[in-house]
Amino acid sequence: MYVCVNRIRVIGSTEEYERVYREGSDFMATLPGHVRHKLLRSQREPAVYFSVAEWTDAESYRRMCEVPKVREIFDQVSDIIELENHECLIAYQGE
């Protein structure tokens, strides 16, 4: 399992960001290797989000990053977000 965690600070409309995130997430769900996505919103800082995307492997994730439609979708909000990307491996998982 390969996980990408993004910390996103929205400096514009949070509603617009959430709309675009849903659009992008729905599209990514159609790509090979996609497992699931979650978008978490900070209760302490409402303009801060954490996106957690799970992929079967790093190669699938990296192929998704090169898909022009993914870039096209997220470019809609590139001027209203500050993004910090963390590509991760699971160190521990409890159930």
Nearest Cα to Cα of residue 75 among 26, 5, 17, 11? 17
Query: What's the half-sphere exposure (Cβ side, CA atoms, 13 Å) at 42?
Result: 12
Q: Is the pTM of this model over 0.85?
A: yes
Q: What is the pLDDT of residues 38-94, one digit of tens each?
A: 999 999 999 999 999 999 999 999 999 999 999 999 999 999 999 999 999 889 989
Who's near 8: CB < 8 A, 6+ residues apart?
Answer: 17, 48, 49, 50, 51, 81, 82, 83, 84
Q: Which domains does the chain have, with CATH numbers?
A: 2-89 (3.30.70.100)
Q: What is the pLDDT of residues 16-47, one digit of tens each?
A: 999 999 999 999 999 999 999 999 999 999 99
